Amino acid sequence: MTPSLARRLSGAPLLLLLDIDGTLAPIAGRPADAALPDATRRVLDELARTAGVYAVAISGRSAVDSRRLICLDDTWIIGNHGIEVAPPMGPPVPRADVAQFADRIAAASARATAFTRDIPGVIVEDKRWTMSVHYRLATPEIVPALTAHITDIARDLGLRVTTGKEVIELRPPIDVDKGTAAVDLASRLGGLDGDASLLCAGDDRTDEDMFRELRRAQPKCVTVRVGDDATASDTSAEFGVPDPQAMRELLEQILSRRRLRPATPG
């Protein structure tokens, strides 16, 4: 870590807003098979317990599933791309304006499941407030027809379509994403104050919203793109690391510097 970067991350409070899949945990073929490495969990746990540090896991997964994967009591969770927020050791609270769309998401999940039942390698993930269709394990030839059909479902039900790394997602037609949710929580926790520091990291298109919105709200925010794929050249992030292991190493450096901070006089 360069001295200038260390200075930008030396403020109080320090907010760490971290995507999970592809950033903290390696991408898995099936969402249920993803696992947070033990070394990453340890450093995240220590950071979350450090005075003046807030650790926030921000994911397209549901908040409940994100908590299961992170398995740490002291982290904040932003789930479903910003639709729900769970404080440390607290239950997830969805936005008040999403309840009306629960039936539409359920209907979309049912229709997508029926359509993909006989397509090997396609997984439908019903996250209550959003729905994802993963095709990482499917043959590329099915993607155009799959995308067209899921788009038709969204149009019929008045839902929004977004795409990510080998996934098609349907969401309620409300103006919320990882960026708006990250800025809202950062404001609540004092992360936009003059003496605060912010770091956000992600690996996918939906994380670009977070990079842009946080830099707009706090220009000195440190933004990190994880991964060496071709789309990384299009990122709004200021820095890049090649994989989740390198991201963990950056977090370890941050933790080491926090441990060296002088105690606040009593």
Kindly list the domain boundaries of the chain, sorted by start residue: 3-95+176-259, 99-171
The pLDDT tens digits of the residues spanning 8-38 come to 999 999 999 999 999 999 998 888 899 999 9
With contact defined as beta carbons under 8 Å apart, do 151 and 43 qualify?
no
Residue (of 175, 188, 147, 177) closest to 59 by Cα position: 177
Residue (of 38, 30, 1, 45) closest to 244 by Cα position: 38
Residue (of 77, 79, 75, 78) closest to 62 by Cα position: 79
Q: Is 19 a catalytic residue?
A: yes
Provide the token pair at 196: 């605060």
Which fold does the domain 3-95+176-259 belong to in CATH?
A: Rossmann fold (3.40.50)
d(CA 51, CA 217): 24
Give the pLDDT confidence score for residue 234 in this predicted structure: 81
Give the pLDDT confidence score for residue 29 in this predicted structure: 86
Stretches where the chain sits below pLDDT 70 are 229-233, 261-266
For residue 3, give the amino acid letter. P
d(CA 235, CA 224): 9
Does this chain's domain 3-95+176-259 share its CATH topology with 99-171?
no
Give the pLDDT confidence score for residue 213 in this predicted structure: 95
Give the pLDDT confidence score for residue 207 in this predicted structure: 93
Give the pLDDT confidence score for residue 158 in this predicted structure: 96
Residue (of 127, 137, 141, 201) closest to 167 by Cα position: 137
The pLDDT tens digits of the residues spanning 204-244 come to 888 999 999 999 999 999 999 999 864 556 889 999 999 99
Give the pLDDT confidence score for residue 165 in this predicted structure: 85
Give the pLDDT confidence score for residue 265 in this predicted structure: 43
Give the pLDDT confidence score for residue 164 in this predicted structure: 85
Which fold does the domain 99-171 belong to in CATH?
A: Alpha-Beta Plaits (3.30.70)
d(CA 168, CA 131): 8
